[in-house]
Amino acid sequence: MSRAINIQQAADMVRAACDKHSFRISSLEPLDSGGVRIVLLDPRDADALRVLMKGKLIDGVVTRSSSHVGRQWVAKRQRPQ
């Protein structure tokens, strides 16, 4: 199952639910179409959050904000000596 979930709920409410249940968040972004897109670090936590938010899940296509794009962290490299 996917670690990403689209939820029709305010970001602070989703974050509070994750904090309450000790779910680790990888990414949380507001959606242009309303609600939030959350990506959790553990797929089991994502499944549990789906159960908790079952009445608020967004099915179908959502519009993501262009200000939130996938970002890859650059690995730190040591310079050869």
Asked if residue 8 belongs to a domain, the reply is yes
Asked if residue 48 belongs to a domain, the reply is yes
* pLDDT, tens digit (0-9, with 9 covering 90-100), for 4-14: 999 999 999 99
Number of domains in the chain: 1
* pLDDT, tens digit (0-9, with 9 covering 90-100), for 15-42: 999 999 999 999 999 998 889 999 999 9
pTM for this one? 0.77
Asked if residue 40 belongs to a domain, the reply is yes
With CA atoms as reference, report the closest residue to 55 among 13, 2, 3: 13
Name the 3-class secondary structure at 1: coil
Give the Cβ contact number of residue 52 at 10 Å: 15
pLDDT of residue 45: 95
Asked if residue 57 belongs to a domain, the reply is no
Name the 3-class secondary structure at 4: strand
User: Measured between alpha carbons, how far is 68 from 59 in angstroms, rounded to an integer?
Assistant: 20
Give residue 17's domain range: 4-52
Please report, as a single letter, which amino acid is at residue 6. Answer: N
Asked if residue 23 belongs to a domain, the reply is yes
